[in-house]
Amino acid sequence: MSRSFVIPGDSLVYVKGTLDVQGYDFQLGSLWELGLASDEIKISINPAHQDVKVDDFGTQIPVDVRAELADAFISMNLIHYDEDVLEACISESMGGRAKQQPANTRLGYSFPGAGRPLGGGRQLFSSGNHHITLYIRSITPSDLLSIEDSTDTYRFLACHLVKSIEVPRGNNKSIVNAKWRAIPYTELISGSTNITIYNPGGNSGNTLALEICSSGTVLYDKHFPDWDLTRNETPQIT
């Protein structure tokens, strides 16, 4: 089961990430304009469920169904996109690979260790968190839309690019199909369980264990046209 809807196009797409992105002449930790979507943007919200079975109900029918949050897929066709910003988003979606120019070699990339979490339990936009926040604002004339759709900007908080992306070279007017996945990410929080840390080479001691809490996590939200002012997130263009 999924809930699908579209954001009427044309739409402007902005991104924001961590300050850690290496090898570029801009900071993804500020809000940047990724590009213009040439047509409607398709959104698919995918709730997850798990059957709860007990012997008394047999092997086929559950006694209950457990809700297990949801993810979302966002599909867009980008035109007039910023190639450097798109490249940075690709890098972050691969765990934060570093763009390098070693001496006497061609331009190359170095990858992080396999298995690195994109978020790592860290706060969004902080060092070591490679999730990207995606902002989508429809610029279709408001008289063609409902009040709800004409005044709001969609924000997907923790995203990464998925599937293959064909990026035309030498022609920024070529269309790039980009598909994003958004998850209801949360950072690690201090729990109530006291654990003992043993350090053979130094001092041992007690500390609170870090925990993950799914309650209250946000997949996406909407806010009004002054979002860039009230949040001090003025879009920037390379």
DSSP string for residues in 217-229:
--SEEEE-TTHHH
**Which pLDDT score is estimated for 171?**
56
Residue-level pLDDT at 174: 79
Q: Residue 144, Cβ neighbours under 10 Å: how many?
A: 10
For residue 219, what pLDDT is reported? Answer: 92
Number of domains the chain contains: 1
Residue 7: Cβ within 10 Å count: 21
Strands 32-37 and 3-7: unpaired
- 48 touches 201 (CB < 8 A): no
For residue 112, what pLDDT is reported? 77
Q: What angle do CA 164, 165, 168 make, to 5 degrees?
A: 145
The answer to whether residue 200 sits within a structural domain is no
- Whether residue 15 is contained in a domain is answered as yes
Residue with tokens 């954001």: 7
Find the domain containing 50 and state its range: 3-188+217-230
- Note whether residue 194 is domain-resident: no
Per-residue pLDDT tens listing for the chain (238 residues): 678 888 887 888 999 988 766 556 667 778 888 999 988 999 999 999 999 999 999 999 999 999 999 999 999 999 888 888 888 898 889 888 765 555 544 556 677 778 888 998 888 888 889 999 999 988 765 544 443 444 568 899 999 999 777 776 665 567 889 999 999 998 887 655 555 544 455 555 555 567 788 888 889 988 654 444 334 454 444 4
Residue at 164 is within a domain: yes
DSSP secondary structure, the chain, as one string: --EEEEEPSSEEEEEE--TT--SSSS-TTS-EEEEEESSPEEEEEEEEEEEE--GGGTTTS-SEEEEEEEEEEEEEEEES--HHHHHHHHHHHTT-PEEE--TTS--EEEPPPTT--SSTTPPTTSTT---EEEEEEE-S-GGGS-HHHHH-EEEEEEEEEES-----SS-TTS-EEEEEEE------EEEEEEEEE--TTS--EEEEEEE---TT--SEEEE-TTHHHHTT---B--
Is residue 228 within 8 A of residue 236, CB to CB? The reply is no
128 domain residue, yes or no: yes
Asked, for residue 52, whether it belongs to a domain, the answer is yes
Res 148: pLDDT = 40
Is residue 195 domain-resident? no
